[in-house]
A and B are shown apart, each in its own frame.
Chain A
Amino acid sequence: DQQVKQNSPSLSVQEGRISILNCDYTNSMFDYFLWYKKYPAEGPTFLISISSIKDKNEDGRFTVFLNKSAKHLSLHIVPSQPGDSAVYFCAASAVGNQFYFGTGTSLTVIP
């Protein structure tokens, strides 16, 4: 049973607009969340993280929002660039325990 779900397999966005990628989780014990980015034929690379004591974390064009009551997190990319085209995975863990990954969302940024 998937504990972390990404219900949108793909997303297309115009360059310069906002990309919003969503992730839902079921385990209320999860308290640490990450987003990874993956290009074809490469391994996932860490993008941004957030702990459950926060509801928002920013790093440049990337912002992650956490809604604990809804068990939902989202990644906002503003402005989107063609180089952002990749598969994005969210992951969650309870501190010190294994990460559970979502199935990924393939983002295409159209120039």
Chain B
Amino acid sequence: NAGVTQTPKFQVLKTGQSMTLQCAQDMNHNSMYWYRQDPGMGLRLIYYSASEGTTDKGEVPDGYNVSRLKKQNFLLGLESAAPSQTSVYFCASSNGLAFQETQYFGPGTRLLVL
């Protein structure tokens, strides 16, 4: 039982490049989330998905897109990376309705945009 896994662990991008951060959970959780963590700030919600096929914006969605085509996977896309997107990205999942249950986090992806 791996819980929540994220790939890659670390990535360097040039400004304007695109990439997809991958998140997978094996707990059959309904809800999944993407957060970013920046120095001096708490985790901030980018997007979340309350169920397979549905996604909603969080606090800081600009510059990102997401997809939840399968229940166990939640993808975060950066279409045109900017230095302001340099951050550590955490994926999380929870059972039941969104934000109603404990969230389980992955180990994070450290992204550097040059």
Contacts and interface: CB of A to CB of B under 8 A. Distances in A.
17 contacts: A36-B105, A43-B4, A43-B92, A43-B108, A44-B90, A46-B102, A46-B104, A89-B43, A95-B99, A96-B97, A96-B98, A96-B100, A98-B58, A98-B99, A100-B42, A101-B44, A103-B40
Given A43-B4, A98-B48, A104 B42 contact: yes
Contacts, number: 55
Interface of A: 2, 4, 34, 36, 41-46, 49, 89, 91, 93, 95-104
Interface string B26-65: 0000000001000011111100100000000011000000
Contacts of A89: 42-43
A102 B43 CA distance: 7
> SS class of chain B's interface: helix, strand, loop or mixed?
loop
B38 to A, nearest CB: 10
A46 B3 CA distance: 13
Contacts of A2: 41-42
Nearest to A93: B99
Nearest to B44: A101
Contact of B103 (A46, A97, A102): A46
Contact of B105 (A41, A45, A98): A45
- Top-8 shortest CB links A-B: A43-B105, A101-B42, A101-B43, A46-B102, A44-B105, A98-B45, A43-B106, A102-B42
B107 interface: yes
Interface string B60-102: 0000000000000000000000000000001010000111101
